[in-house]
Amino acid sequence: MDAPVAGDDHSCDRVFAAQPMTDSGDYGYPPSTRRKDYALVLLQLLWRMRFDLMVLLLVSVLIHHNWIPRSWTADDSVVRIMGIAASVFLGFRNTQAISRWWEARKLWGDVVNVSRNWTDSLRAHLDSSRPPGRQERKLLRLQLAIVWQLNFELRNFWNRDLRDLQDNLLSDLRLATTTNLRQLGQLRGVWIGELHREGLIDGFGRMQLMDVGNSCNDAIGGLERIRNTPLPASYEVFVRLLNWLFVFLLLLYFQDLGPDSQSRLGDVAIALLFLMAERISAYVEGPFDADSSSFSLPLDNICLAISHDLLDRETDHVQHLRSNDPVRWT
């Protein structure tokens, strides 16, 4: 490409037109794990599996000092077969665990969409010739109370500031702070019926609001299913025992290779990686754990986003609790 000639305005225009002009906004960037946080994620994992690390250390010391009977040693073909078996079962277990985690996230996405649809439907169907403000605010607060109660009941723990927000919502609705999720859902149907009887919405509006409420119930039911039904205990125990048996045979096999320090470090590293893979699947399987680490779903973030969508600036005093960091977002 020829360089633009001095004084040639058209040439300069062509050069600048070829360069993309971009600006950035204040909407934030998608969450991503920064490289400097890799160590923190690893520490979170190692802390949660500290019992396994202590057992691994104990077994390694016993084998290193030849306190394990030599008759327990397996040949290399057995170690290979056990390694393949452990890899297959670990791969399947990790796939199932990630599937549960992702399904829970999709169901929470449904809760977000339902809450927005609830807001739009209320504003579309409430009779514009009558002052609907009080009824609209009441029903928006009810939906938000359902969302936060779902969060708290799934995890059975909460931030105190967010619990105060929920208590204030229930107080505004003249409900007891002990009101549970099912009671809030039933109350939604009752209040929709009252709107219809008072003539604030027509029959079609009543039907659409009930459809939105039913969609919310479907998402809640799916989340409760994931929370209350883990993978079969027999399968979990089998995979865990199989993994530990492979680790044990692997350490014995490397011990028979001789006192080579490189092989000694290699067997421990391989054993640790297999144990980490098995533990990651166990931790990710429960996306509502009270661990508050990178293994859990960002439920507070999701609920705070819904709070902003439904009540706008009324929840600004707790929006600072939102985090865009997947390592620290719970």
pLDDT tens, position by position, 222-242: 999 999 999 999 999 999 999
Average pLDDT of span 17-41: 72
pLDDT in tens, 157-206: 888 999 999 999 999 999 999 999 999 999 999 999 999 998 888 899 99
Cβ 192 vs Cβ 138: under 8 Å: no
Mean pLDDT of 246-271: 78
Token pair 């980490």 is found at 276
Determine the pLDDT at residue 258. Answer: 67
Q: Where do the structural domains in the chain lie, given as residue ranges?
A: 49-321
- Decide if 105 contacts 287 (C-beta within 8 A): yes
Q: Which residue has the tokens 């054993």?
A: 271
Whole-number Å distance between alpha carbons of 41 and 33: 9
CA distances from 24 to 27, 31, 174, 212 (A): 9, 16, 44, 36
pLDDT of 29 above 80:
no
Mean pLDDT of the chain: 85
Amino acid found at 158: W
The letter for the amino acid at 183 is Q
Contact 51, 244 (CB under 8 A): no
Higher pLDDT, 149 or 254: 149
